[in-house]
Amino acid sequence: MADLSKWATSDVLEPIRRFLEGDMTMSAVRVEQFLDGDTLVVRAELPGIDPDTDVDLSVTDGQLHIKAKREEKAEHKSKTGYRSEFRYGSVTRSFALPPGVSEEDITASYNDGVLEVRAPVRSTSPDTSAKRIRIDRG
């Protein structure tokens, strides 16, 4: 069993603090999705990441896919010892895009730990013209 007497109180309590703050992994990312006029908006909380290297945003078969990863390393040196810690996690979320979204018009921005994706929805009028269906006889 580890001798905790050499660790500072803050070192022992650090994992508990992260757990209580919900910072153990990125497995659960908070997301909101809503319509802003004619634009679908998806916001995802992704703090502590570099959007250039840690986020993959794509559209496939009418689905918006967000993949994010985070790696974090920390070293603590004191007179009584040395402790190294690393955390990593990833998350993947997918959202169905409404009819009328053009993949070319989708934009994304990252500010203050929030990824925001905006997808303009072109209004498509439903086809109300009747189409006659031929009946074959056996």
Domains contained in the chain, CATH given: 4-120 (2.60.40.790)
Q: What is the rounded CA–CA span in Å between residue 101 and residue 71?
A: 33
User: Residue 27, Cβ neighbours under 10 Å: how many?
Assistant: 8
| Amino acid at the residue 94 | S
Per-residue pLDDT in tens (0 to 9) along the chain, 138 residues: 444 444 455 455 655 655 565 554 445 678 999 989 889 999 999 888 889 999 999 999 889 999 998 887 788 888 888 888 777 788 888 888 888 888 889 999 999 999 999 999 887 666 666 777 776 777
Strands ordered across the beta sheet of 81-96: 55-60, 63-78, 81-96
Q: 109: closest CA among 40, 59, 42?
A: 42
